[in-house]
Chain A
Amino acid sequence: MKSYLRSAVAVYAKDMRLEARTKETFSAVLAFAVIVAFVFGFAFDPSPTVVALVGPGIVWVAYVFTGILGMNRTFAVERDRGTLEGLLLAPVGREAIYAGKLASTTTIMLVVEVLLYPVFLVLFELNLFNIWFVLITIAATVGFSAVGTLFSAIAAHTRAREILLPLLFLPIVLPVIIGAVASTSAALAGDGWDGVGKWLQFIVAFDLVFLVLSSWAFDFVLEE
């Protein structure tokens, strides 16, 4: 257990160090997220009544798309530089590699998502600075990364990684998207635990199931 944690933290620290030095994934994903938000301004009339109706939807569409973009790079970077073999040859459990990768993906996504709060506030007067929304963001992002990290390991080994990841990822995380949009509507309407609690528990249950399942399946995915 201790060595598992140590290896996972080592993978996580490596990814974070890489990201801190290059800012490759982070900057590209953040720029893309801002563009998505900007384009949404023209997809519908951004008046307060319309925003109240479709706001939660656009926030989560923006998050999901940027998440896909970011997760695609999780293993693609390792593949392209030929470092994946090195990582797999390391005498550590595959679950530890999965956990480290999961943590780094989640961290990058969360940072981008929080940086989008002011963007949505400025462009749509959508106030996401809400404790319930923060909790929903964290829970849903962990769910996305749990599934996405595994599927990005599959996609990275193929010629069609850009198309394969969303194709596999989106149907599976559909419940999280539904839950996130519904609970965001409730949170922004000021419902508190009464409206948000049910969905939040639902998303956390999804996270737990798929964290366990993904760490189990990770070995099968990477096996030559």
Chain B
Amino acid sequence: MGTAGLGIRQALLGLAALLFLIDLYLIFQYAPTASEALGLQVQRIFYFHVPSALLGMISFAVAATASVVYLTKRGRKWDRIAWASAEVGTVFFTVAIGTGAIWAKPVWQTWWVWDVNGTLTFMLWLVFIGYLIVRSYAPTVERGSRWAAVVAIFGAAAVPFVYMAADWWEGLHTERITGPGASGSMQSEIFVTFMFSLVTFLVLFIALVAERTAQRGVEESIEELRREVSA
């Protein structure tokens, strides 16, 4: 079953590689240098930062939705999708947090700001890590899948609460710093580059999740065969 759709998956990975080359050209050649308030050249990291943060959020939504379906319908396929999405999402969140810090240090003179987006990203990143770890400690694969699904669903249910709490907290404690892109309209070159980056990351995300999902499928069939042989 793992070989099904192999061609499509390889094509997707190839497409992602091609899109990244074009994306890099757009980011460094086509897009104009941003205003000083956004950090001039440093602002270009945004074309990686924002898409990876958005895709991280999307991966969480995918993982939580697939987890609900897995718990109610019990198809192994859904667990594999949730798992793959969580793995890829963890990487995207890590990239988002890292690039955010790299941008904020020269522009805001601080690595980290306790704003809503930062808090939410960090919290979901932690939930994903718990999601991945709880599986490795489970006595059986199925139990690990069910426990992980519960963790993902709980994380998703906590999102609106974290969002509200962090928002009120921010209003209470810090001067609100207007995020980049929030003020004024985006220049069209910046907008085009940004959208292209988003599509590029989306294709990469789909390619990686499809690949990991298929790999899990192969792993599970091998495990099944091994059990049959030894039985």
Contact = CB atoms under 8 A, between A and B. Distances in A.
B8 interface: no
Interface string A194-224: 0000110010011001100100010011011
A202 B126 contact: no
B153 A217 contact: yes
Given A171-B155, A220-B71, A158 B150 contact: no
B203 interface: no
B134 A164 contact: yes
Contacts of B133: 164, 167
A172 B155 contact: yes
Interface residues of A, number: 31
Contacts of B124: 171
B191 interface: no
A172 B158 contact: yes
A179 interface: yes
A21 to B, nearest CB: 31
Interface in A166-184: 167-168, 170-172, 174-175, 178-179, 182
A172 B137 contact: no
A110 B165 CA distance: 24
Contacts of B157: 209-210, 213
Nearest to A164: B137
Interface string B155-168: 10110011011101
A124 B166 CA distance: 28
Contact of B127 (A171, A198, A221): A171
B137 A202 contact: no
Interface majority SS (helix, strand, loop, mixed), chain A:
helix
Nearest to A198: B168
Contacts of A209: 157, 161
Contacts of B112: none
Contacts of A2: none
A81 interface: no
B44 to A, nearest CB: 31
A168 B165 contact: no
Contact of A179 (B137, B158, B165): B165
A221 B158 contact: no
A154 B147 contact: yes
A171 B146 contact: no
Interface string B117-129: 0010001101101
A158 B127 CA distance: 18
B158 A175 contact: yes
B137 A174 contact: no
A17 interface: no
Nearest to A159: B137
B172 interface: yes
Contacts of B134: 154, 158, 164, 168
Given A167-B129, A223-B146, A172 B154 contact: yes
A167 B71 CA distance: 22
Which of A150, A154, A202, A205 counts the most chain B CB atoms within 10 A?
A154
Interface string A136-172: 0000000000010010001001111000100110111
Interface of A: 147, 150, 154, 157-160, 164, 167-168, 170-172, 174-175, 178-179, 182, 198-199, 202, 205-206, 209-210, 213, 217, 220-221, 223-224
The 8 closest A-B pairs by CB, nearest first: A175-B161, A158-B137, A178-B165, A171-B126, A175-B165, A168-B130, A217-B150, A171-B127
Interface of B: 71, 119, 123-124, 126-127, 129-130, 133-134, 137-139, 143, 146-147, 149-151, 153-155, 157-158, 161-162, 164-166, 168-169, 172
29 contacts: A154-B134, A154-B150, A157-B138, A157-B139, A157-B143, A158-B137, A158-B138, A158-B139, A159-B137, A164-B134, A167-B129, A170-B126, A171-B124, A172-B155, A174-B162, A175-B158, A175-B161, A178-B165, A178-B166, A182-B169, A182-B172, A202-B165, A205-B161, A209-B161, A210-B157, A213-B153, A213-B154, A213-B157, A223-B143
